[in-house]
Structure 1
Amino acid sequence: MSSKKKIVRRLLSEAEIARLPRAGLLRRLAALLYDMFLVFAMWMILGFILLFVFGLFADNTSELVDGRVQTHPVLSLLTLAMMVTSAASFYLWFWQRTGQTLGMIAWRIKALRTDNQSIPPKQGLIRFVAAWPAFWLGGLGYFWLYVDKNHDAVHERMSGTKTVLLPKDARPF
């Protein structure tokens, strides 16, 4: 006989979802790290495609000038636009579809509107755009959850969303 307990996954009711606690900072950052690996892999693939396509139509995409590599300015702008657009699309698709990216599934957290519904594109875009300075300004936007009465980060307050911790027996989707 096996002494391991089998966990039965279940869907949460609306009342249970409303009572879920907010996710802590370390869980959020761990999920962000997982997602960063996925987004970086996506950028690598899209970057290779962009370089291949751009290389077909333009000579000298990069040059060595005074010991420094200089990339064609159009290619640099296209790369930046591709990176921002693909990262936004990644998060918006997952948040709108299930409320969870792959990193969020692994760490049992879920992003929802404050009324416990899935995040629509407009709110998701506000959340995504506001999260960048929240993270890059020394994480101050994330540390705000220790000050906020609901334990929300700044980008969640701005977008009307929240990040909750799911119980172990909850189904990820």
Structure 2
Amino acid sequence: MPLTTEPMPASLARRVGAIIYDALAVTAIVMVVGLLCQLATGGHVTDGTQIAWWYQPLQGLVVAAYFLVSWTRGGQTLGMRPWRIRACTDQGAPLPVGRALVRLTVGALPLLGLGIFMLGTMRWALWAPVVGWALWLLPALVDPRRRALHDIASGSMLARLA
């Protein structure tokens, strides 16, 4: 029987486990950036009612950098390491920056659901990205390589490590 060089796809359970771990890592990153911003501004990130215009984009850029650097340098975020999975091309090669950027952009689209709070309640707004990400993961149930929507769009996959 010939040996295959194609990477073994990671299961949906491993992917969800890594998502949960990464949610904790992202929470810690956001908290550290928030602390540094508070220290740098002397506690004046808000004027009492408004958050400074630069604060949320800065948080987004730092979180985006976490994912991009993790995927392009080693293929693993902190959440992917204990689950022994890595992001790679469909052929198993490391993700180039362009593909990682597409993966990040498509994967972050459900965050636009947060804008629902203008039309409804904050509860709806907080559930919208969760529902969006669940929809993004649905293709992984039927795709032979268990790719989610952002994997398909970027030509990437999550491979299981030996």
TM-score range, shorter chain: 0.7 to 0.9
1:144 aligns with 2:139: yes
Q: What does residue 10 of structure 1 align with?
A: none
Paired with 2:54 and 2:16, the residues of 1 have a C-alpha distance of 29
Q: Unaligned 5+ residue runs, structure 1?
A: 1-14, 64-69, 168-173
Q: What does residue 34 of structure 1 align with?
A: 21
Amino acid at match of 1:159: S
* Contact kept? 1:99, 1:112, Cα under 8 Å: yes
* Contact kept? 2:92, 2:159, Cα under 8 Å: no
Cα deviations across residues 84-137 of structure 1 (Å, max 9, x unaligned)? 111111111111110111211100111101122111111111101111236821
1:160 aligns with 2:158: no
Computed over aligned residues only, the root mean square deviation of the Cα atoms, in angstroms, reads 2.2
Tell me: CA distance 1:19–1:120, structure 2 relative to 1, closer, same or farther (3 Å).
closer
With the length of structure 2 as denominator, give the TM-score of the two structures: 0.77
2:65 to 79, 89, 96: 89
Amino acid at match of 2:135: L
Paired with 2:7 and 2:102, the residues of 1 have a C-alpha distance of 23
Q: What does residue 120 of structure 2 align with?
A: none
With the length of structure 1 as denominator, give the TM-score of the two structures: 0.72
Paired with 2:57 and 2:79, the residues of 1 have a C-alpha distance of 24
Q: What does residue 117 of structure 1 align with?
A: 93
Paired with 1:38 and 1:150, the residues of 2 have a C-alpha distance of 27
| Displacement of 1:71 | 2.4
| Displacement of 1:34 | 1.1
| Displacement of 1:61 | 2.8
1:54 aligns with 2:54: no
| Displacement of 1:81 | 0.9
Percent identical pairs in the alignment equals 27
| Displacement of 1:153 | 0.6
Instruction: Give the paired residue count.
Output: 141
Q: What does residue 116 of structure 2 align with?
A: none
Give the structure with the larger strand fraction.
Answer: 1
